[in-house]
Amino acid sequence: MNNRIRCDLCGEEITGEPYIVEGRQLCQSCYDYDTLRCDCCGERILASHEVTDDHISICENCYEVRYHRCERCNCLVHDSDVFWEHDDCYCRSCYEEITDRCIKDYYYKPSPIFNKMPEESRVRYYGIELEIDCGGRDEDNADSLYNIANREGDLLYIKSDSSLDEGMELVSHPCSVQFHKRLFPWKEIMKEAVELGYRSHNTSTCGLHIHIGRNDLGETPEAQEEVISRIMFFFESHWNEIFKFSRRGEYAVNRWASRYGYKDRPKDILEDAKKNRKGRYTCVNITNSSTVEIRIFKGTLKWNTFMAAIELVDSICDNAIRLSDEELHKQSWIDFVLSIDPDYTELIKYLKEKRLYVNEPVEDEEEV
């Protein structure tokens, strides 16, 4: 009878008693060189099964039960030492750096702070994402823009964005149109950004995204969906005018803000959008639970163009709330522009510049 025992790792014959690790019989050499002790529970484990970083080696069971990996530096962090930022976990060092630095991670999302003019009662709120590029992912530059924006309170935060070459994303808290126009220091922010070397329109990377609060579009989810469907219908019905307004090229629109396709009934466009799963890279992004995002506009550091986009979106929302499906179906582009609030002077001026208004165009100013 053959009682020889062979090592389960190297296959060599074992003389004497084998070492048992994770149920395997090992020779002296494999035990010495191919196993280690878990720094957490002390159990001997196979080196091939260790979970490790530069400081600690643990068994898979201890990792599953007691540890996480830092999202930023990938080090192992015991549950008692984890710092959470939304659904992401960090070690103390990374957490302190992330929360102290001005340029936050892409997924950073603080609780919204809503701003309106003191005399305003019920308003719609718009959150803005303005991408700027070519000036670097520079903390000093970000601090400068952040300090201009937040002299009077928390209005804006700044995030990194992998779609940008050497830039960042300026994100506003939700504000009414009049607050964006009269109290938000967008003019100063844009002037400083240009002086720091940033560009937005004159890049191939930057967009201007406008978020509309769903709750501002109707009292119930059903009413909100009706308005959203009419917003989508407006974009499809007047696609040529919207495309010209956006300043984007065809490739960029197809890549970052594609259209859904025209249908006679607004509800059909909405239902089709829910089924075809195009994701968020659409002209009217409906994948967010709390907002509808208008993504079609190219970025800009020209204040008139920037405010015109916000005033246009607000006018489209008014239009979708005020008109029935039948009335919207009959509405021409000229009918729409004639219904715009005359106080929306930046929008009217921009429409004239782009020859999208009913009277003589005005001279177009250079974009930045």
> How much is the pTM?
0.76
> Which residue carries 């930046």 as its tokens?
346
pLDDT of residue 355: 94
Is pLDDT larger for residue 355 or for residue 88?
355
Q: Report yes or no: 157 and 174 within 8 Å, Cβ to Cβ.
A: no
Measured CA distances, 27 to 44, 48, 49, 288 (Å): 14, 16, 18, 58
H/E segment holding residue 347: helix 345-353
pLDDT computed for residue 96 by the predictor: 77
pLDDT of residue 271: 94
Provide the terminal-to-terminal Cα distance of the chain, rounded to the nearest Å.
88
Res 93: pLDDT = 84
Q: CA–CA separation, 45 vs 38, rounded Å?
A: 7
Q: Per residue in 90-142, pLDDT tens?
A: 998 888 777 778 998 888 888 999 999 999 999 999 999 999 999 999 999 99
Tens digit of each residue's pLDDT (9 = 90 or more) over 16-66: 899 999 999 999 999 999 999 999 999 999 999 999 998 999 999 999 999
Q: Report residue 361's pLDDT band, with 50, 70 and 90 as the boundaries.
A: low
* pLDDT at residue number 2: 53
- Return the minimum-mean-pLDDT range out of 104-113, 114-123, 198-207, 219-228: 104-113
Q: Is residue 235 within 8 Å of residue 273, measured between CB atoms? A: no
Of 94 and 268, which is predicted with more confidence? 268
Cα–Cα distance, 158 to 153 (Å, whole number): 15
Looking at every residue in the chain, the average pLDDT score rounds to: 94
Backbone angles phi, psi at 259, to 5 degrees: -85, 160
Q: Which of 84, 102, 181, 185 lies closest to 143, judged by CA?
A: 102
pLDDT digits over 283-338, tens only?
999 999 999 999 999 999 999 999 999 999 999 999 999 999 999 999 999 999 99
The kind and range of the H/E element at 13 are strand 13-14
pLDDT band at 152 (very low <50, low <70, confident <90, very high): confident
Angle (CA) 55 58 59, round 5°: 165
10 Å CB burial of residue 194 (0-12, 13-18, 19+) is middle
Task: List all residues 6 or more positions away from 347 whose beta carbon is below 8 Å from its beta carbon.
Answer: 307, 308, 311, 312, 315, 340
Residue 22 zone, left/alpha/beta (φ > 0; ψ -120 to 50; rest): left
Beta-carbon contacts of 4 under 8 Å, excluding residues fewer than 6 positions away, are: 13, 14
Residue 260 CA to residue 231 CA, distance in Å, equals 12
- pLDDT at position 1: 41
For residue 360, the SS3 value is coil
Instruction: Give the per-residue pLDDT at 101.
Output: 83
**Token couple for 141:** 């530059």
What's the CA gap between 120 and 359, in Å, rounded?
32
> Rounded CA gap, 276 and 188, in Å?
42
Do residues 69 and 75 make contact, with C-beta atoms less than 8 angstroms apart?
Answer: yes
Structure tokens at 256: 């970052």
Instruction: Let me know: does 225 contact 275? Beta carbons within 8 Å.
Output: no
